[in-house]
Amino acid sequence: MKESAIILADGPRCRGLDAAGSGTYHAPLMAHQESDRPARPRRRAIYLLPNLLTTGCLFSGFYAIIAAIDGNFDHAGMAVFVAMLFDGLDGRVARLTNTESAFGKEYDSLADMVAFGVAPAIVSYQWGVARITEYGGVWGRIGWLAAFFYAVTAALRLARFNTRVSTTDKRYFEGLPSPSAAALVSGFIWVFNEWREPGLPGLVIAFTVTALAGALMVSPFSYPSFKNIDLTRPVRFVSLVVAVVVVFVVIAGAPSKALLLCFGSYATVPPLLWVWRRLRRRQRGDAPSANRS
């Protein structure tokens, strides 16, 4: 009886006797069988350096809350700006070192909510509500509602950013970024902290700024992200001199006023441009009708 061979083409085989002891058969190797098993899921990496920077952002926001409760509004304003520095570094360091992770993104959002959502709202509340209640309970309720409105809009802003980050243009932010809104509110309190007796008009202005910062966070206005700026590209000597003068002379001389001016301009320019364009469109629309008449 001739030996019959069975040819199977689904992987490596081994030879052996069949049940009658006369033929041969081919059996799959164990290694090939084990390869069909599902692979173990990879562990999600957690990197130390960018998360340490995110923790610095969270700590700065927490310190701003404690400082505001203790009445140190100068330190509270400084802490918010330090939190902005850490927030700008953690993402850039993660991209440069290729250590981005899903854990880091979630941790960064939670830290941003504390540092740029809760902290500025409490700073504004601690600075103004205790004084504005002297003019009546209604003013007090308006004050804490303005602070709460800011906290809510900060949470909504972060949630919208996380859900649309993959579909939006990287060159622009939809709505005022929460760090810039926090800088606007905390910078205002920091500048006017020496305003010992602001009176009712000054307190109303403070809570109006807080509410407007919250409204701008959830607005549809486009704000430049400056992510397309290449910091590694060589620059001219004149540009270097201007940067040094602006950063180290102006900010060091009057940091609170300089930072408030910078972030106040950044927050108000897009809405003002939108109003100016609408007025221009109305004028262009009225001009043909006037010529026809």
Q: Is there a single domain that holds both residue 56 and residue 144?
A: yes
Q: Is there a single domain that holds both residue 11 and residue 73?
A: no
pLDDT top residue among 2 and 113: 113
The answer to the question of residue 276 being in a domain is no
Lowest-pLDDT range of 158-162, 177-181, 249-253: 249-253
CA 257 – CA 191 distance, rounded (Å): 6
% of residues, the chain, pLDDT over 90 = 38
The answer to the question of residue 279 being in a domain is no
What pLDDT is stored for residue 31 in this prediction?
Answer: 45
Residues 6+ apart with CB under 8 A from 161: 173, 174
261: left (phi over 0), alpha (psi -120 to 50) or beta: alpha
Q: Is there a single domain that holds both residue 153 and residue 12?
A: no
What pLDDT is stored for residue 41 in this prediction?
Answer: 44
Q: Is there a single domain that holds both residue 66 and residue 165?
A: yes
Q: What is the dihedral of CA 140, 146, 152, 154, to 10 degrees?
A: -140
Domain final residue pick, 172, 200, 229: 229
Positions of E strands within the chain: 13-17, 24-28, 172-174, 222-224
Give me the number of domains the chain comprises: 2
Q: Is there a single domain that holds both residue 67 and residue 113?
A: yes
Asked if pLDDT for residue 65 goes beyond 60, the answer is: yes
Task: Annotate 227-253 with b (16+ C-beta within 10 A) or e (fewer).
Answer: eeeeeeeeeeeeeeeeeeeeeeeeeee
Asked if pLDDT for residue 182 goes beyond 90, the answer is: yes
**Vertex 150, ends 148 and 154: CA angle to 5°?**
120
- The answer to whether 150 and 210 have CB atoms below 8 angstroms apart is yes
What pLDDT is stored for residue 283 in this prediction?
Answer: 85
What pLDDT is stored for residue 273 in this prediction?
Answer: 92
Residues 6+ apart with CB under 8 A from 160: 174, 175, 218
Q: Is there a single domain that holds both residue 65 and residue 159?
A: yes
**Using the 8-state DSSP alphabet, how is residue 193 labeled?**
G
pTM: 0.76
The answer to the question of residue 249 being in a domain is no
**Distances, alpha carbon 201 to alpha carbons 84, 197, 214, in Å:** 30, 10, 20
98: left (phi over 0), alpha (psi -120 to 50) or beta: left
Asked if pLDDT for residue 183 goes beyond 90, the answer is: yes
The mean of the pLDDT values for the chain is 80
Residue 9: give the domain boundaries. Answer: 1-39
Q: Is there a single domain that holds both residue 176 and residue 106?
A: yes
Asked if pLDDT for residue 250 goes beyond 80, the answer is: no
The answer to the question of residue 259 being in a domain is no
What pLDDT is stored for residue 34 in this prediction?
Answer: 47
Question: Tokens at residue 103, please?
Answer: 């854990």
Q: Is there a single domain that holds both residue 83 and residue 134?
A: yes
Asked if pLDDT for residue 8 goes beyond 80, the answer is: no
Q: Is there a single domain that holds both residue 112 and residue 28?
A: no
- The answer to whether 194 and 73 have CB atoms below 8 angstroms apart is no
